[in-house]
Amino acid sequence: MRYYDSVILKDGRTCVIRNTKSTDAYHVLTAFHTMHAQTDYLLTYPEENTMSVKDEVLYINQKEQSPRDLQLCALIDDKIVGLAGINALGDRIKIKHRIELGICIEKDYWHLGIGTALMQACIKAARLASFQQMELEVVATNKQAIALYEKMGFKEYGRNQRGFITKDGVDQELILMALDLRL
């Protein structure tokens, strides 16, 4: 899928939301590592990402060629400050209507509207690709993310009490949320 837009953030700066490109691979990996080191709310720790720049180029190219998957970046002054992706759950008849969402923003850029812009872009792209349901999991103590998802129309449909266990051994409850894209 292809996507490009620009938005004016709460602080007046312009943020470009677009597909990642193969030439972004190094910067995508750097941003990924930075964002995943800044919070305990994401699926992985930075050291768990073993992708090389070459691997990231292949991954980006695969996403760019896919009619059903998408990887976006948010840029301020040509710096990647956010990433978001949507991935089809599969091509099987019973699940081909579903897509999952992942999103992360660099901490210095929280509260500017980047999350909303990335969410809107992913929702728009998913609808254009004829998906009917977008899903995500969020750590139950991540109140800011939950508020954003609810603002975008996501509804809770379940919980996983021990969805994550941090490297410090702390259980993190996950809230399962879905958005009906037909509305």
- Residue whose C-alpha is closest to residue 72's, from 142, 30, 125: 125
- Residue whose C-alpha is closest to residue 85's, from 39, 19, 146, 23: 19
The DSSP element (H or E) to which 34 belongs, if any, is helix 25-38
Q: What is the pLDDT of residue 27?
A: 97
pTM, entire model: 0.94
Q: What is the pLDDT of residue 80?
A: 98
Query: What's CA 47's distance to the chain center, in Å?
Result: 19
Q: Strands (DSSP E) along the chain, which ranges?
A: 4-8, 14-19, 70-76, 79-88, 98-105, 133-139, 155-165, 171-180
Q: What is the pLDDT of residue 153?
A: 98
CATH code of domain 4-136: 3.40.630.30
- Pairing between β-strand 155-165 and β-strand 14-19 as defined by DSSP bridges: unpaired
* Tens digit of pLDDT at every position of the chain (183 positions): 789 999 999 999 999 999 999 999 999 999 999 999 999 999 999 999 999 999 999 999 999 889 889 999 999 999 999 999 999 999 999 999 999 999 999 999 999 999 999 999 999 999 999 999 999 999 999 999 999 999 999 999 999 999 999 999 999 999 999 999 998
Query: How many CA within 13 A on the CB side of residue 121?
Result: 31
User: Which tokens go with 9?
Assistant: 């953030």
Q: Which residues contact 151 (CB under 8 A, 6 or more apart)?
A: 116
Segments making up each domain of the chain, as ranges: 4-136
Q: What is the pLDDT of residue 1?
A: 77
Q: What is the pLDDT of residue 30?
A: 96
